[in-house]
Structure 1
Amino acid sequence: MTPLNARSIAIVGGDGIGPEVTAQGRRILALVAEKRSLPMKLMDVDYGSDAYKKHGRLLPQSTRVAMSEADAILFGATGGPAFDAIPAPVRKAESLLAVRRDFDLFANLRPVKTMPALYEASSLKRRVLDGVDMVIVRELLGGVYFGEPRGIETLPDGERRGVNTHAYTASQIRRVARAAFDLARTRRGRVCSVAKENVMEAGRLWREEVQSVHDAEYADVELSHMLADNCAMQLVRAPAQFDVIVTDNLFGDILSDCAAMATGSLGMLPSASLGPFQKSERRAALYEPVHGSAPDIAGKGLANPVGSILSVAMMFRFSLGLPAEADLIERAISDALVSGARTADIANGGKHVSTEDMGDVVVSKLTSLLT
Structure 2
Amino acid sequence: MVTDWLDWPFFEDRHRRLAEELEKWCAANLDEPGEDVDGYCRSLVGRLGDAGFLKLCTEGDVRSLAIARATLAYHSGLADFAFAMQGLGSGAIRLFGTEEQKAEWLPKVASGQAIAAFAMTEPEAGSDAANMVTSAASCDGAWDLTGEKTYISNGGIANFYVTFARSGGEGSRGLSAFIVPANSPGLTVEERIEVIAPHPLARLKYDDVRLPPDALIGEPGEGFRIAMETLNLFRVTVGAAALGMAGRALVEAVDFASRRRLGQGTLADNAVTQAKLADMALALDASALLIARAAWQQDERSRDNRRAAAMAKLNATEKAQKIIDAAVQMHGGMGVTKGAKVEELYREIRALRIYEGASEVQRQIIARDLLKEQRT
TM-score, length of structure 2 as denominator length: 0.31
TM-score, length of structure 1 as denominator length: 0.31
Q: By percentage of residues, which structure has more helix?
A: 2
